[in-house]
Chain A
């Protein structure tokens, strides 16, 4: 198994390398100058010497492959470069400020989504084709079908502007966290619930469950001892997509609720053509998703010995 993990980690690094080259290429193809040197307004004020100095300072005067190598050698040493938008501040410092906020938001939402989603899925499967099942699946359908930005707008309309229960924007107090966490949570919750329900129904059909019932075990024991234990194993595979959906969802959530997290910094970085910031965030987000998928695959084999790595 260690051999398998080692190979997957090497693959992950290659994937990240490809991703960094792709992102670097895309951001370099972009028309428009990050330092605003091409704005007619600024162009008049900037002398050729100043321009040269500025480009040199940010290494923008070198050929693009050289720029990439420079970026790469610094990056692996933990220096993500100078931000082009927040002048003279290092990207890693900006990210260090923003990450705790996003992590708090994301981890809370992810934990809630997976626990509540699993519970909902189990309940729906146990009481299948009853009103409980239909209601649970209605929530699940809503979570999959309603885009996060539409949901956020709806919640703001209802709870902030009509009922005046919750503040619209900001971060730091529990009442400000309710709506963002709910919006971020609902999609993955729905996916988890649907997946859990399907997995439960699959296991309930198995022969060993029939045997358990036939030998006279009470239904409660059948569900907890035989069905749940086997049905919940595949559910950990939704953890990977959940992390990815947190990353995507937080772009909208942090934007709409003006939360000063990494996703907000990412959108600002893109608007300002802040390459070092874009690169760092791309690698971190990509690494996060790859790591989550790897962790899920390894965990899956640990929990379910029937899985063999090859």
Chain B
């Protein structure tokens, strides 16, 4: 495939282009590299589709996801309700569509927060070192040693179910990965010549961190983000399935599984639809994540 792309431009042309154009932005280059990976490209397409479904849920969904309809209880799939209805007569397709909005929000928001907290802590610990580093890293080690799902469960039960609580709980259990990554990179870079030069010129610490140190971890953070979003979506579904995530009647995929599992003998259609959607989304994110890692973080994929 690479050869085909190269072959299009004749040697003289590409030489001329190289002279005239400034070097291509490395981010654009990495993105191109990623799209060459078929799995990653399809994954990106599927995720874009789900993000759009989440954004336009109100427009697409044929029914209200929350309003019970006592004339259409527990119906199998039909023309009127493509995926059937649940125990309260709510349209399963509509609930899945609104559930997409919930899942995507949980995934992207919690990961955004996670990376933010991790970056701040990691940068501070790595840059200032000494006692601050020791204290922060002890906390990181404690959290890192413990399976985060269990801590999540403890926090959710302690502070109660709900969207905001879930976001906070996920972020405070998951930031340690990003913190370790950023700290490691900052430690590695801060004694190098270009940082010393910046110090010597009297550049403020904040500017050094933001302009000189963080751009070096951005690629790895993006890869981490792309693996973290599906993990967060999976955690939300799992916690809601256990009954300690979101509050019913929220149209969450996990809550739909929870409701469907209780009726798995008589009405398997309630549980099949959300299971299938979860698997599709997880697969899409996994292929995209693998592709992103290969393209944006070449060291890790070697």
Q: Give the interface of A toward B (CB within 8 A).
A: 11-12, 14-16, 18-19, 22-23, 26-27, 29-31, 141, 144-147, 149-150, 153-154, 156-157, 161, 202, 244-245, 247-248, 251-252, 255-256, 266-267, 270-271, 273, 278, 282, 285-286, 289-290, 293
Contacts and interface: CB of A to CB of B under 8 A. Distances in A.
B264 A157 contact: yes
Contacts of B146: 19, 282, 285-286, 289
A22 B142 contact: yes
Contacts of A278: 154
Contacts of B302: 202
A244 B157 CA distance: 21
Contacts of A271: 157
A206 to B, nearest CB: 13
B216 interface: no
A153 B257 contact: yes
Contacts of B149: 248, 251
Nearest to A20: B142
B279 A266 contact: no
Interface in B121-167: 138-139, 141-142, 145-147, 149-150, 153-155, 157-160
Contact of A290 (B145, B160, B241, B261): B145
Interface of B: 138-139, 141-142, 145-147, 149-150, 153-155, 157-160, 234, 237-238, 241-242, 244, 257, 260-261, 264-265, 268, 271-272, 275, 278-279, 282-283, 286, 302
B154 A147 contact: no
27 contacts: A11-B141, A12-B145, A18-B142, A19-B146, A22-B142, A27-B158, A29-B159, A145-B279, A145-B283, A146-B279, A147-B234, A147-B238, A149-B237, A150-B257, A153-B261, A153-B275, A157-B271, A244-B147, A251-B150, A251-B153, A252-B238, A266-B153, A267-B153, A270-B157, A273-B157, A282-B150, A286-B145
B261 A18 contact: no
B232 to A, nearest CB: 12
Instruction: Give the most central of B147, B159, B160: most A CB within 10 Å.
Output: B147
Nearest to A148: B238
Contacts of B160: 31
Contacts of A286: 142, 145-146
Nearest to B275: A150
Contacts of A150: 237, 257, 275, 278-279
Given A145-B279, A147-B234, A19 B145 contact: yes
A245 B146 CA distance: 10
Contacts of A270: 153-154, 157, 244
Nearest to A25: B158
Contacts of B157: 30, 270-271, 273
